Amino acid sequence: MTSPERRNFIWQIGTAAVAVLGVQSAWSTLRYARAPVSYGPTRRRPLGQASRFPRGSVVFVADAGVFVSRDSAGIRAMSATCTHLGCTVRAQADGGFVCPCHGSRYDKSGVVLSGPAPAPLPFLRVQRDRGGRLQADLDVPVPADQRTDVG
């Protein structure tokens, strides 16, 4: 191997090593930044006792970011987070909901009536703990007709 060839070879090895290190560093940085560490509130939010929600009522539980409604079949919780860009929707006198950020309108079942929202407001799983307290799981959507029986 002549000298220029050897120099080229070493240069190429060096470049490849730097490239591999660069990719590895970038990957490690991304992994580091996405560590499953959260100091925020839990995604399973307490709603309180069932007695807080009389039949026929729709109650906004601010800490959970959900509208809880109750009928003869039971209780269900609908997310108050607009499916467009994440603002909190507001209840209207006609039973529907409107988003203050870009004006998306939903009916009382969370179905989009107008505006840029790409999807209906999701209903979320509601469970009871041992003490009978209700909690909504923000990460588990359920069908709109699913209720939690509270007796």
Stretch that binds other proteins, among 16-24, 34-42, 48-56, 71-79 (CB under 8 A): 34-42
Tokens of 113: 């009536």
The rounded radius of gyration (Å) of the Cα atoms in the chain is: 26
Gap between the Cα atoms of 105 and 93, Å rounded: 13
Does residue 111 interact with other proteins by CB under 8 A?
A: no
Q: Binding residue for other proteins (CB under 8 A) from 40, 54, 131, 143?
A: 40
Q: What is the DSSP string of 61-123?
A: ETTTTEEEEEETTEEEEEE-B-TTT-PBPEE-TTS-EE-TTT--EE-TT--EEESS--SPPPE
Stretch that binds other proteins, among 1-9, 27-35, 67-75, 123-131 (CB under 8 A): 27-35
Q: Binding residue for other proteins (CB under 8 A) from 58, 59, 101, 150?
A: 101
Residues in 129-148 that interact with other proteins by CB under 8 A: 138
CB of 78 to other proteins, least distance (A): 15
Number of residues that bind other proteins (CB under 8 A): 27
Does residue 98 interact with other proteins by CB under 8 A?
A: yes
Report which of 123, 111, 121 is spatially closest to residue 75, judged by C-alpha positions: 123
Stretch that binds other proteins, among 2-10, 18-26, 69-77, 98-106 (CB under 8 A): 98-106
In this structure, what DSSP letter does residue 40 have? Answer: S
First to last CA, the chain: 87
Residues that bind other proteins (CB under 8 A): 30, 33-34, 37-41, 43, 62-63, 65, 84-88, 90, 98-103, 116, 118, 138
